[in-house]
Amino acid sequence: MKTLKTYIMENEKHPELHQYLLEIDDYISKGEILNPEFVRLTNKINRFVDKQYQQFKIQFRGQFQHYYDAGNVEITDILWSFVSSVNDIKNLSKKLDRVKKERDNEVFKKYSEFVAPFKSLIEKYEVLKKLVVKVTTKREQAKAEKQIVLQKQFRDSSTLIAVLNMHIEEYKKVAGEKAEEQYQRRKNVLEAHDWNLDSIATRPNGNMGRSEYQMNSAIRSSYLSLFERVHTSSPRMKDPVILKYSATLHKKFIDDSIKGAEASYHAWVAKMIQKIGKPVVDAKMTGNPWTRSVLTVTCNDGETQVWNNQMIINFSKYGLMFNQFPSRRAK
């Protein structure tokens, strides 16, 4: 068993090592360590171990040459050890354990003295490795926990959900109409350029700046997702990209826009439940979601909250549809 005197001497000799042991103990007490934190801590410890071993080797440079010359394989194997990480020092400790018959050898003694302060580090590091949690796993756990809370909030706010969902079908209809308007604008632009995509957006090339390259790529991609490309029997690289109307792609764009609007609407409902923050026992809404509406809710503790809402269907400069839902509580 390590005596108090030995423990104090080791901590005075390696105060930095003591800090790493405390940091590992802290993570062990918590029962987990995220992978990025584990990598960060491991890198710090490895740099420390490497520095300590280099200083140790300098002290005995040239002193043990006769062991190489004598051909003592076991001792030579120890002398040839490369230690730059906590795993390396663990392997060195195993080597020493395998040649305990050489305990009276000066090399064995010196290397054992070097390894001794790191014994606790090796043991605790092995425990810590079993507690590493991937960030993606942690996110999935947090997402699952959030979903459980959200489901409870939905059950507690069924009155609010019923009121908000009264407008969803009408909102989807408006989204479809906006998508159709956007499609026709794109079609009109194509017709004005004789359906030549190259006249609308230049083909991306290496002479363009980053922003210009990205902008032209995005515009061309948006048109190619809405209209069908005309293929020739013997295409050449320099041939213009000619498009034509596609009923299939037209319908897909409208359908996807409506589905996206519906998903955004449900996300807004969930967001409103979180913003209100309490179970709702009564809810009323005047106006409509896509121009301006006023939502008045009564919470289970009797508090009344009034929210001003406005939903906006918009399109980016690349023609991509997106929704905005500014909601502010009335003071």
- Give 161-187 as a DSSP string: HHHHHTTHHHHHHHHHHHHHHHHHHHH
CA distance 11 to 2: 13
Average pLDDT of every residue of the chain: 82
pTM over 0.75: no
The most confident of 143-147, 170-174, 286-290, by mean pLDDT? 170-174
Classified as helix, coil or strand, 309 is: strand
CA distance 296 to 321: 29
- Among the listed residues 20, 8, 27, 72, the one whose alpha carbon sits nearest the alpha carbon of residue 44: 20
Beta sheet of 327-329, edge-to-edge order: 280-288, 292-299, 304-309, 327-329
pLDDT tens digit sequence for 203-217: 888 888 888 998 889
At 330 the pLDDT is 83
The most confident of 30-39, 100-109, 192-201, 211-220, by mean pLDDT? 192-201
Please provide residue 232's backbone torsions phi and psi, each rounded to the nearest 5 degrees.
Answer: -100, 165
CA distance 221 to 318: 9
At 156 the pLDDT is 62
Instruction: With beta carbons less than 8 A apart as the criterion, state whether 257 and 175 touch.
Output: yes
At 145 the pLDDT is 66
β-strands 292-299, 304-309 pairing? antiparallel
Using the structure block, give the residue that is written with the tokens 């609407």.
265
pLDDT band of 110, cuts 50, 70, 90: confident
pLDDT tens digit sequence for 291-322: 788 889 888 888 999 988 877 766 666 556 66
What torsion, rounded to 10 degrees, do the Cα atoms 212, 218, 224, 227 define?
-100
At 6 the pLDDT is 47
Phi-psi region of 62 (alpha: psi -120 to 50; beta: other; left: phi over 0): left
Which of the 8 DSSP states describes residue 283? Answer: E
- Angle between helical axes of 4-13 and 15-30 (0-180°, round to 10): 110
Q: Quick check: 269 pLDDT over 70?
A: yes
At 2 the pLDDT is 45
Element counts in the chain: helices (H) and strands (E): 14, 10
Percentage of residues in the chain having pLDDT higher than 90: 24
pLDDT tens digit sequence for 47-93: 999 999 888 888 776 677 666 656 677 778 888 888 999 999 999 89
CA distance 14 to 242: 73
User: Residue 62: exposed, middle, or buried by beta-carbon count in 10 A (0-12, 13-18, 19+)?
Assistant: exposed
pLDDT band of 42, cuts 50, 70, 90: very high
